[in-house]
Structure 1
Amino acid sequence: MSAWPEFLANKPVNTRAELGAYEYLWQQPSSNTKRLAQLFESHPGSLPSDLVDEDVAQRVAGEVVKQFAKRGIKRFGVRINGMHDYPGRLRDATEPVEFLYFLGSWELAEAPRRVAVVGTRKVTAEGAARTRKLVRALVEHDFTIVSGLAQGVDTIAHQTAIEHGGRTIAVIGTPISEVYPKENAELQRRIAEEFLVVSQVPVLRYKAQGPNGNRLFFPERNKTMSALTEATIIVEASETSGTLIQAKAALDQGRKLFILESNFNNSAITWPARFEKLGAIRVREFEDIARHLA
């Protein structure tokens, strides 16, 4: 990474070309997050445009902009590895992304005290109540609430943060031009306008492939969400929940992982004890979180 400032000083970065080049790399049949990470690792100091013909990159960028226009998106931002405003914390991920799209105020991604509040889509009534109580306390202590805009815990976390005058960031598993689930369209719009929505999902690849391929973007965004925050807090999750992907990522990335006590009291699951042995912190009361993040 030490060569980046000198490299960029001698090469102006054309954002549109980088966008098109990155999208083109994703259009290749064998592309996935791991292979692209390996590609850039094998080409240190390279931007996406260094690996794609310029005319091709510009053409593909035009296609992306047209897709955004169809969805009413006229202004959006990007972050590119190697540029000064790319979040260096992302490099802690095992397979870090080179390129991010965003809508809203990027300053929130750099604000101190960012924590992810995540959990199951099929949240219980008790889990919903715990999520609201937890997020209220986090907002009162000036934490920025990060979640994935999914059904259940994620949606409640975002809504509670907004209702109590807090800040929130949505790291989504679709392109910024898409909404999932559909019932969160208004919530996503509000977060994009007043806070921040972040996506690493390539627009054209997502559009070209079906649900079976696109579902793989959700666990990848969990790893990115973890990298962007200083801690992940799990409210409620089943034994097979995608939330556990973020749990593992948090520990692998050197982030703190908090698990609410109620999970340890659930005899139907074994993952809480397993992650506690790996370094996760059991949360019996909010002060357990506040103390570790002081």
Structure 2
Amino acid sequence: MGAYEYLWMQPGMSVRRMAALLGREGAWLPSELVPQDKARETWAEVIAEFERRGVANFGVRLYGAWTYPACLRDAKEPIGGLYFRGSWDLAESPRRISVVGTREVSPEGRDRTRKLVRQLVASGFTIVSGLARGVDTIAHTAAMEFGGRTFAVIGTPISESYPRENAALQEALANKYLVVSQVPVLRYKRQDYRRNRLFFPERNKTMSALTQATVIVEAGETSGTLTQARAALDQGRRLFILESNFHKPGLAWPAELERLGATRVADFSQILEAFA
């Protein structure tokens, strides 16, 4: 993992370049491409950062290693590695579904999210979201409230939290459930914050790959949620769009995604039927 972090520190490195470097079939481990002393030095920096931020327990998954999740290979550009805190078993639970949407959720969207999550939990689904403001936060908190399972795929390193007001929620998920991050610790720390924004849409692609389906509760025409929607279709995952989105003036994306294979959901039974 130190070698992986070292590769991310090289100029011009991106998810696409990393995927090409490691090879889709896992022919290379990062440690085969980086001098051992450099990998160890870099890893020492990562551990020092974790200690400074109070991250005591974590795990890793690395492309090319036997523990790497097979489902992530369905991504167009599989990520090279990830960190996690909590129980990895949740990422391998039988029914995993992403509930995502806008940060600026409407009161109606809030109610729909809670109702949907309550139904999903009652049907044995693990709720996955991105810990962002709005729909994501409601999905996680509702899943916990209704006694379900949930985990977050975040767009920052596991040693950071965004938004800041969700720091306590992230810690609760890490302690009782699961938090997953593909974001390289040192690259994130050292580069300009504006470039770090690029990790969020990449996070959405990974969230889609880790789950069997994505449900969009509510989203605007330029929402980052649509990155996950298109990734889900590319990866052969189910994509559900709540009916209410089709009746909002000015939204073109619901009809466009329906033409590409998404399912318009007017009743919860449609989701159950798709999984049956």
TM-score with structure 1 setting the length: 0.93
How big is the shift at 1:84? 2.4
Q: Which of 97, 115, 121 does residue 79 from structure 2 map onto?
A: 97
Distance (whole Å) between structure 2 residues aligned to residue 58 and residue 22 of structure 1: 11
Tell me if structure 1 keeps the 8 A contact 2:241–2:265: yes
State the one-letter code of the partner of 2:107.
Answer: A
Distance (whole Å) between structure 1 residues aligned to residue 59 and residue 34 of structure 2: 21
Q: Secondary structure at the match of 2:205?
A: helix
Question: For residue 171 of structure 2, what is the aligned residue in structure 1?
Answer: 189
Distance (whole Å) between structure 2 residues aligned to residue 46 and residue 179 of structure 1: 31
TM-score with structure 2 setting the length: 0.98
Higher mean alpha-carbon deviation, 166-175 vs 80-89, is at 80-89
Q: Which of 218, 225, 229 does residue 211 from structure 2 map onto?
A: 229
Alpha-carbon spacing, 1:164–1:42, altered in 2? closer, same or farther (3 Å): closer
Residue correspondence of structure 1 range 16-95 to structure 2 within 5 A = 19-41=1-23, 45-95=27-77
Distance (whole Å) between structure 2 residues aligned to residue 136 and residue 42 of structure 1: 38
How big is the shift at 1:83? 2.4
Distance (whole Å) between structure 1 residues aligned to residue 218 and residue 25 of structure 2: 41
Distance (whole Å) between structure 1 residues aligned to residue 193 and residue 42 of structure 2: 22
Equivalenced residues, count: 276
Distance (whole Å) between structure 2 residues aligned to residue 268 and residue 70 of structure 1: 47
Distance (whole Å) between structure 2 residues aligned to residue 36 and residue 160 of structure 1: 36
Distance (whole Å) between structure 2 residues aligned to residue 123 and residue 199 of structure 1: 24
Distance (whole Å) between structure 2 residues aligned to residue 278 and residue 101 of structure 1: 33
Q: Secondary structure at the match of 1:259?
A: strand
Distance (whole Å) between structure 2 residues aligned to residue 100 and residue 266 of structure 1: 37
Distance (whole Å) between structure 1 residues aligned to residue 106 and residue 161 of structure 2: 24
Distance (whole Å) between structure 2 residues aligned to residue 243 and residue 201 of structure 1: 18
How big is the shift at 1:42? 8.0
How big is the shift at 1:91? 0.5
Tell me if structure 1 keeps the 8 A contact 2:152–2:179: yes
Q: Which of 212, 224, 229 does residue 247 from structure 1 map onto?
A: 229
Tell me if structure 1 keeps the 8 A contact 2:29–2:65: no
Q: Which of 258, 265, 268 does residue 283 from structure 1 map onto?
A: 265
What are the ranges of 5 or more consecutive residues in structure 2 without an aligned counterpart?
none
Distance (whole Å) between structure 1 residues aligned to residue 3 and residue 26 of structure 2: 16
How big is the shift at 1:66? 0.4
Question: For residue 162 of structure 1, what is the aligned residue in structure 2?
Answer: 144
Q: Secondary structure at the match of 2:183?
A: coil
Distance (whole Å) between structure 2 residues aligned to residue 197 and residue 191 of structure 1: 6
Distance (whole Å) between structure 1 residues aligned to residue 129 and residue 153 of structure 2: 6
State the one-letter code of the partner of 1:180.
Answer: Y
State the one-letter code of the partner of 1:195.
Answer: Y
Distance (whole Å) between structure 2 residues aligned to residue 150 and residue 210 of structure 1: 20
Is 1:180 aligned to residue 162 of structure 2? yes
Distance (whole Å) between structure 2 residues aligned to residue 125 and residue 106 of structure 1: 33
How big is the shift at 1:46? 1.1
Distance (whole Å) between structure 2 residues aligned to residue 238 and residue 108 of structure 1: 30
How big is the shift at 1:38? 1.0
Deviations 1:70-110, CA, capped at 9 Å, x for gaps: 11111110011232221110010001012110000000001
Distance (whole Å) between structure 2 residues aligned to residue 88 and residue 44 of structure 1: 11
Deviations 1:148-206, CA, capped at 9 Å, x for gaps: 00000000000000001000010000000000000001100000000000000000000
Alpha-carbon spacing, 1:200–1:42, altered in 2? closer, same or farther (3 Å): closer
**RMSD, aligned α-carbons:** 1.0
How big is the shift at 1:286? 0.5
Alpha-carbon spacing, 1:85–1:63, altered in 2? closer, same or farther (3 Å): same
Distance (whole Å) between structure 1 residues aligned to residue 206 and residue 238 of structure 2: 15
How big is the shift at 1:43? 8.7
